[in-house]
Amino acid sequence: MLEQLFKLKEHGTTVRTEILAGVTTFLTMAYIIFVNPSMLSATGMDHGAVFVATCLAAAVGCIVMGLAANYPVAQAPGMGLNAFFTYGVVLGMGHTWQVALAAVFLSGICFIILSVLKVREWLINAIPLSMRTGISAGIGLFLAFIALQNSGIVVDNPATLVGLGDMKAWGAIMAALSFFLTIALVVRGVKGGVMIAILAVTAISVLFGYQEYAGIVSLPPSVAPTFMQLDFAGAFEVGIVSIVFAFLFVDLFDTAGTLVGVAQKADLVDEKGNIPRLNRALLADSSATSIGALFGTSNTTSYIESVSGVAVGGRTGLTAVTVGVLFILSLFFAPLAGMIPAYATAGALFYVAILMMSGLVSIDWRDLTEAAPVMVTCLLIPLTYSIADGIGLGFIAYALIKLLSGKGRDVNISVWIIAALFAAKLAFS
C-alpha cells in the first residue's frame, strides 16, 4: 500500500528511511507547538484551544501534502504570520481575534483560487526578487524585536521610544540563555536543538520557582473556545482587505520559496528546473490555512525545516505523513506546552529571524534602486509594528525610486498595482 501511495522504489527510498526523515523534521520544527499558543494567546485566545488548533492544522497540512502532492514537505502555522496576526492585526490595529481568523480563512480561499487558476506563477515571477527577500528579512527582524520585548530586554522609553531593560531580571537572563543554547545546539547538529533549548529553560524556571509545574501529559484540551469562531461580518469591512492581502502575500512567497528550496535539496525538480505537482502542493498549503483558521490558528505554511528530513533521506510524502502523525500524538502534551514562558521561546524566535534574514546576501547593494526599497521594507516592518504597512511602504518606495531614477520601465505592472493599492489605503484610512 505504501509503495502504491508514495512510489518509494521510484524515489530510491524505503519505509524506514522515510519514517526516520519524518521524525527528524518533526524534531526540528516541533517548537511551533510551544511558540504558537504562547504568541496567539496574547490576543485573548484560549491557550489550550490554540495548542490543539496548532497540532491539528499542522497534522492536516502535513498529511494532505504527503498524500496529495507526495512531497517530503511538512507544514504548520507559520512564524511571522502568527506575529502579524497577534501584534499587527489584533493588538496593533484593534481588530478582534475572531475577525483576524476570518481574514486568515479568506486568505486561504484566495490562495486556493490563485492555485487553481495557475495565477500564482505569474504573481511570484512579477514581484522583484529583492522585494521578496526584503519582506522575509523584515519579518525576521519583527520576530527578533518581539522576542526582545517579551523577555524584557527591550522596554518602553518615553524619551527614545525604546531602551534597554533590566538585564538582571530573570526573564532577560533566561531569554539570553535560550538564545545561546539554541544557536549552540543547532551549530553542533543536535536534532531538535531548538525544542531542547525551550524545554531546558522552562525546566530551569520550574526548578527555581519562577514557573509552576503543571504536568507533562494529559488528555487534549477542548478546541471549542476557538473552533468556528470566525467573524466574517467584521472581516468584510473595507479596512480588512489589506490584511487579507498581507496574509495571502506573505504566505504565498513563504510557501513558494520553501517548496523550491526543499525540492531542489531532494532533487525532485525536472530537467527544466520546474517542480512537478506544484499546484497540488500549493493546494495542500492553502487548504491547510483555511482548515487551520476554522480550528483557531493563523496561516499554515510549508516549513524550511523540512530540509533536515531530506538530508537524512526523505524523498516522498511518507515523510510528511509521519510528521503529521507526530503532531497528532503531540496533542497529549498540552500541560507541558502551557508551562512554556514567553522568554523560553526567545531563542527560537531569534533563530528563525536569522534564517529569514540570511537571504539579504543575494541583494545587489551596489544598485541603490534595488537596495533602498529593501532597506525601507526591512526597517519599517518592525518599526511600524506592522507587516502589512511595511510591505506596502516597501512597494511604494520601489515603484517611486525606479520611476525617479529613470528606470520606471523596469517595474512590472503588478508592482505598480500593488503600490497604488497601498498608497490608496494610506491616503483614505
DSSP 290-328: HHHHHHT-S-EEE-TTHHHHHHTT--SHHHHHHHHHHHH
pLDDT in tens, 398-418: 999 999 999 988 888 878 988
pLDDT in tens, 118-157: 776 666 666 787 887 888 888 889 888 988 988 899 998 8
Q: According to the model, what pLDDT value does residue 24 have?
A: 85
Average pLDDT over residues 216-224: 91
**Are the beta carbons of 318 and 310 closer than 8 angstroms?**
no
Q: According to the model, what pLDDT value does residue 201 have?
A: 94
Could you state, in order of their start, the residue ranges of all structural domains in the chain? 2-141+218-332, 367-429
Q: Which residue has the cell 528546473?
A: 273
Average pLDDT over residues 343-362: 86
Is the pLDDT score of 270 beyond 70? no
Going by pLDDT thresholds of 50, 70 and 90, the confidence category of residue 272 is low
**Are the beta carbons of 370 and 130 closer than 8 angstroms?**
yes
Average pLDDT over residues 296-302: 91
Residue 125: how many CB atoms within 10 A of its CB?
A: 11
**Cα distances (Å, whole numbers) of residue 157 to 93, 148, 163:** 22, 14, 5
pLDDT in tens, 29-67: 888 999 999 999 999 999 999 999 999 999 999 999 999
Going by pLDDT thresholds of 50, 70 and 90, the confidence category of residue 389 is confident
C-alpha cell at 62: 502535513
28, 380, 179, 253: CA torsion to nearest 10:
10
Q: Among 183-197, 253-267, 349-363, 413-427, which is the least confidently predicted range?
A: 253-267
Q: According to the model, what pLDDT value does residue 380 have?
A: 92
Facing residues of 162 across strands?
Answer: 156
Residue 291: how many CB atoms within 10 A of its CB?
A: 19
Averaged confidence pLDDT in the chain = 87
pLDDT in tens, 66-115: 998 888 989 999 888 898 899 888 998 888 999 999 999 999 998 888 87
Cβ neighbours of residue 25 closer than 8 Å, sequence gap 6 or more: 72, 74, 303, 305, 306, 308, 309, 314, 319, 323
